[in-house]
Every structure is written in structure tokens, then in C-alpha cells.
Chains A and B, each alone.
Chain A
């Protein structure tokens, strides 16, 4: 079985509040960059599928040269093969542009059965690349997957979490699967893995290596443009501490206050 895991390099979630508007606008984010936390589950699921069904796992990302570090993180966890998709022409792509680049790279890589991705990135938060990729590849789309039950006979069966409950769904291959945090417990990079990753020579594919029309990706092709990037207004609340003689009296006072706020 051929598995491709699509990942993104993102800021460390703990440092997200420190990022300034200017850093995002210039593209020069100075915080620690990591493998997108949601993508750790996709990498782990790729490795588990390989254990269950055999085959190859390739991890790909679109980004600048520094994004190699996210690929190396995946290699350190056990992925054998990685490709960086990098070209100045890719910069500023929206989700559809990114999906176009990834789809072309996946096709170049060879036949694929399952493409895995995290639910969304912690920076863009849109969760659109996986659906876009499914359409560009002509693959089926399975999102918010909490369990891959089976892959057999040209089909994949998964469980996914929806607002009203848990659905079991069977779809034809190839499939693009975006995974939820519940699907597994990601393994950590191992010492041997980190050594291997540090020595890995990761191929870089540019626009010229891919069957992608110049002008169909990058900033100028973006159909949804971010404008007026800003920090949200800080919550201006001065806490009113409620303290009465007994816990019962405190509860009664708090209930009075909340009923006066008309939120109950």
C-alpha cells in the first residue's frame, strides 16, 4: 500500500500569542517552528497503516527550505521517505494552490492509496487543504477520522466523529483522510531516528519538476486574501471575587449575580 502524509511546518502552539502581525505579513515568523501538532497524528497513522498493511510511507510538505525540519521530524519518528516542495512561485498560495502543488507531487511520486493529513494547521486553521487535495486527485474525502477500521479490496473503512455521533463509512480508494486527535497516540522521535534524520538527504521539487501551470499557484492565484490582519481586542474584564461566610452563601450570591447578567 502506498501512503503519503502531507504535513506543514507551523509555529509552536505555546508561542502563537507572541507572534506579531508584522511577522506574519513579512513571512518571517521568529518563534520556534515545529511539525504542525495535528499532523503528528497523520504521521503516526501513516506508520501504523504501514505496520498493518505494508507498503511505503512518504511525507511531503510545501514550504521554504527551513520546512525541511518538519520533514526530518517525521523521519525521526520512522518515516522512510520525504520530499520538500519548494519554489518562490509557491509563496502566498491559498489552500487551493497548496492542494494543486501537493496533488502534482503525489502524482509524480507514483500510485497512491491513502493520503493522510492533520485536521487543520494551527496557523491557517482552515482545514481546506485535505478537501482540496481530494478534488485535485479525484480521490474520495474522509475528514475528522477517529479510526481506520480496514483497507481492503480497493476500499477503506473509517470511523469519523460528527456533531451528532460516530459514523462508520466505507469509500473507494484512493482516499484523502484527515485525522482527528483521537485516532492514535503519536510516537516520539527516537534517538536513532533523529540521527537518521540529521543525515537524510531530502529531495526538493520545484515548479519545474511538477506538472503545475505557473500562475495557477502562489500569491497571484489566491482567491481568498487575508487583509487587515490584527490582534483581537483583549478581554476587558475585572474579576469580581465572590466570597461569603459559607460555601452555600457564596453559591447563592454567585447565582444572584449570574441571573442578574441574564445569562441563565
Chain B
């Protein structure tokens, strides 16, 4: 085994970034001259394991037990560590989601391996894995090189394309929990799911964000932003200024102290484009700026711009897309 990829699932649904990582790992494993393995952990998650086969895993370790039904860090880490010890991969890759980042850290720390967190690219150089990651909040990049026999990395959503699913030639290997249920030191008391249909910012192909420009009527402003996002099947974001002003909850914040996003299309409505905001969305493929102030810095990074009032432009754009889509 050259690479082991952790496939994150929640309620039997794999996170999209898991497949992005698996697809990239397929080509890396080829360059490293070894097999590609995936691990799926949960209870009643065979469908996810089958899906992993269609995305090119040679072996899928399907690890199921009642104690693994929901993600908990220690029993999940014990499973991954056990597989690494048994099969000695050269690299273990994780999606850089909240849980994936935690799990990668515990596994790498326990196994005494170097870890590159929240990477944006991976390569093989001289048979060894290297990882590119943004540092200094997106203001610099570094290529991480690993010391020792095992490299661990977590990879940001949308760093790689979703692979094509094709024939499933690999095999599924089943096993059970490694840690005794009684030894688990944490319990989940309750879970309050985010409102149905809401698109996760980091996975979104399209993001429409609002900023301080909504100030004259924040409630209406963000309703218009959300309507445009909904008409495009996208997610709603916000600038720090809008979050700090209390117009919208923090979970929508894009930027240095919020989320880093990389959509195909980012529409910034009433956002001036402070450097901290640009750090979070500057890698978007196409940026559209809608702002009353023609001098706003956002226009310097935008591909398309409209100098105008978002309260007029945004609903007009929503109406236009509703006609066409």
C-alpha cells in the first residue's frame, strides 16, 4: 500500500472533498508505485465503501461497529492507526474538514509522523510525497517535505476536481472497532443539523457574499444576497464587517478569520475587499464585484464589476437567472 485515504462520511453520506482527495491520490499512488487504499469508518456504511471502489481505490477497508456510528476522535484514530501499522503506507491523506483535520492530527502525532495541514496541492518528487500549503493566512505558500517513513496531509475542499466514477475493480476488506466501547472518553449528547438544503461554503461551486454595503437595511440586503445564491444553487457568504456588525452569523464569514473558499464563481455584494477578505476568496475562479464605490479594492481582483447599488443590481440579477436556469 502506498497511500491510504480517509473517506469522511456523515450519516452515510461521504463529504465531496473525500472523493477529490481519493482521485488525486490515485495518480500519486501510480507515481509512487503502490496500491491505493481507502478507509471508511462508521456503521452501516457499505454504500460509501462501494462508492470508494468506483473512484479507483484498489482496497477499501470498511470498518464498522455500533461504537463507530458517529465520529468520535479516539476510536476513529485507533482504527486508522491500526491500519497504518498493519500495512505501512508511505502517506495517509485526509479531507481538511473539521473532523478530518482533528483525525489527521491525532493519527500523525500518535505515529510520530510529520503532518501538512490544510494543503492546496500534492505532488510526488523523487518517490516522496510533497505538499503545498498556504501559510501566513494565504499570504505565502510553502512546499512541505516530510522527514521519516510516513507522511500525513489534510487537503482543502475544491483543491482537486471530483474524479470520474468508473469500474470498481478493487476489493472491500471488513473489520471492526479497535478501541473497546467502554474506553471511549467522549460521548455525543445531541446534534443540531444545519437547516436542510444549505450548501457548505467550503464545498460550494458558487458563493454570493454580502458586506457592509447592506447597512441601510441589513435584513433585506442579506435576503437579496441569499435569493441570488439560491437562484444559482450556491452558498451565502459574508465579510467580516457584516459579521461584526451582527448582520449575519459568523459561520458565513469568508476571509482570514473566517473560511477560505475556492468556488468557480464568487459574487461580492457591497464588499469593499479588505486584504483580510481577499485572503479568503482570492483563489476563486471568477470574481464578480457589485459595489457603489468605483474605488473599492475589490474591483482590482474582480473579473467583472458593476458599479451600482446592490439593492437594485442583486435582485435584477436574481430575476435574470430565474428566467434562464
Contacts and interface: CB of A to CB of B under 8 A. Distances in A.
Contacts of B320: 248, 251-252, 254-255
A14 interface: yes
A232 B134 contact: yes
Contacts of A263: 205-206, 264-265, 285-286
A231 B139 contact: yes
Interface string B208-244: 0000000000000000000000001000000000000
Contact of A13 (B10, B141, B257): B257
- Tell me the dominant secondary structure on chain A's binding face: mixed
Contacts of B305: 239-242
A28 interface: no
Contacts of A122: 136-137, 256-257
Nearest to A143: B102
Given A163-B200, A222-B147, A225-B144, A255 B317 contact: yes
B141 A230 contact: yes
B139 to A, nearest CB: 5
A227 interface: yes
A152 interface: no
B186 A170 contact: yes
A65 to B, nearest CB: 23
A166 B192 contact: yes
Nearest to A157: B189
A45 interface: no
Interface in B92-119: 97-99, 101-102, 105-106, 108-110, 112-118
A126 B143 CA distance: 14
A223 interface: yes
A161 B251 CA distance: 9
Contacts of B69: none
Interface of A: 11, 13-14, 16-17, 19, 21, 24, 37-38, 94-96, 99, 122-128, 131-132, 134-136, 140-144, 157, 160-172, 180-182, 222-232, 235, 237, 239-243, 247-248, 250-252, 254-255, 257-259, 261, 263-264
11 contacts: A16-B136, A99-B109, A125-B135, A127-B117, A135-B109, A140-B185, A141-B102, A165-B192, A165-B194, A224-B146, A231-B139
